[in-house]
Amino acid sequence: MRSLVRVKDNGEQLDGHPVLEILLSNDHAAITLFSFGATLQKFEIDVPKFDKRDVVLGYTDWDTYQRTFEKRPNAYFGAIIGPIAGRIAHAKLPFKNDFFQFEANEGPHLLHGGKRSFSNVNWKLLSFKENPYPQVTLFLETKAHNIEHPGHLRCEVSYTLKDFALEIKIESIALDDTLANPTQHSYFNPNGHQGSVLDTEAWITADSYVELNKEKLTTGRILPLKGNTSSSSNLGYPLHSIFEGLDHSFILNAKQLQAKLIAADGFELRFDTNQPVIQVYVGGAVAFKGKEGLNYHKYAGICLEQQAEPDAPNHENFTDIYLKKGCNKTNLMTIHFDQTT
């Protein structure tokens, strides 16, 4: 009987423990993860009536991910992002009747947690199992990894490969009063990672979005989406009509099936989340060669980041991302790849 979970020690140490390569597989799909960044490196799907395909962008080896942090901009391919996803204006937020000042990493602002964050440290293996589904859980703590962050936060991420779905669960646990707004940062292409999302239909169940200023910082205003709405197919708003320059937060208005990507051959990926927002970014052009020696281009993939609104602590009308000591919250994304609906 073949193993559904394989954990490989790459023979290298980072942050005091081994860098791991982890494979989860079943009859329909296989994913590969690196413990560095808790990164989803590969997501291969093989279902009837469609060619086998790898639907996420990535690099061949873990140290290429590490080297990307030496260059800007960095795509954060497949990594877990945090403790706070998105941009924090002036790298500053209210905390305990005062303010917490981060070291900025994007001009004067904070992006995706800072210079040392969830995405560029080596996570520890907590557990893995094969039943009822192949699953692995990785974890870290902010203080142990010297991640600049107010309070003290533990984060556990579980990847579970179900029969026709990949579930990514990010559990934030407050070891002290703190705050958390993590997400996953995979770039998807339902045509395969070698393709273009210009050959993709992309839909989101939203009728409003967060306004940005010229620095791509949120203004705090929620604006309505106008035109190009789908009334007959119930698919929502067609993101493919606005791919150029797309880097926006959409306020979700459905409890299930919040996004859908449809390849040129009809193959579909469907996305469910328990978060109020999906940040959508179209990009992928990077300085390093991707898997199979590919040069990823501007339209190589579409990033769907489930989270609260970016810069939420600085806007009273946004989601509260603060956590009291002893409390926790779960961020869940499920990617469905059955082709029956």
The pLDDT of residue 245? 86
Q: How confident is the model at residue 2 (pLDDT cuts 50, 70, 90)?
A: low
1: pLDDT strictly greater than 60: no
Q: Cβ of 25: how many Cβ atoms within 10 Å?
A: 17
d(CA 312, CA 318): 5
Q: Express each pLDDT in 284-326 by its tens digit.
A: 788 889 999 999 999 999 999 999 999 999 999 999 999 999 9
Tell me the C-alpha to C-alpha distance, in Å, between residue 152 and each of 85, 142, 197, 243: 17, 6, 39, 38
CATH number belonging to the domain at 5-336, selected among 2.70.98.10, 2.40.110.20, 3.40.50.620, 3.40.47.10:
2.70.98.10
* Cα-based angle 148, 150, 155 (whole degrees, multiple of 5): 75
d(CA 335, CA 260): 9
C-beta separation of 167 from 159 below 8 A = yes
**What's the full length of the chain, in residues?**
341
Q: What would the mean pLDDT of 206-227 be, rounded to a whole number?
A: 94
The pLDDT of residue 231? 47
Q: pTM of the prediction?
A: 0.96
Q: Express each pLDDT in 71-83 by its tens digit.
A: 777 899 999 999 9
C-beta separation of 56 from 195 below 8 A = no
d(CA 181, CA 307): 6
Q: What would the mean pLDDT of 326-336 be, rounded to a whole number?
A: 98
For the chain, give the percent of residues with pLDDT over 90: 90
341: pLDDT strictly greater than 70: no
| Chain centre to alpha carbon of residue 237 | 21
Q: Cβ of 339: how many Cβ atoms within 10 Å?
A: 14
Comparing 48-57, 61-70, 266-275, the range with the smallest average pLDDT is 61-70
The pLDDT of residue 229? 54
* Structure token digits, residue 269: 């990926």
Q: Are strands 322-323 and 183-184 parallel, antiparallel or unpaired?
A: unpaired
Q: Which H or E run includes 136? A: strand 135-141
The pLDDT of residue 230? 52
The pLDDT of residue 69? 85
Q: Are strands 247-252 and 206-212 parallel, antiparallel or unpaired?
A: antiparallel
112: pLDDT strictly greater than 80: yes
Q: How confident is the model at residue 122 (pLDDT cuts 50, 70, 90)?
A: very high
Name the average pLDDT for the chain.
94
* Structure token digits, residue 339: 């082709």
186: pLDDT strictly greater than 50: yes
Q: How confident is the model at residue 70 (pLDDT cuts 50, 70, 90)?
A: confident
Q: Express each pLDDT in 123-147 by its tens digit.
A: 999 999 999 999 999 999 999 999 9
101: pLDDT strictly greater than 50: yes
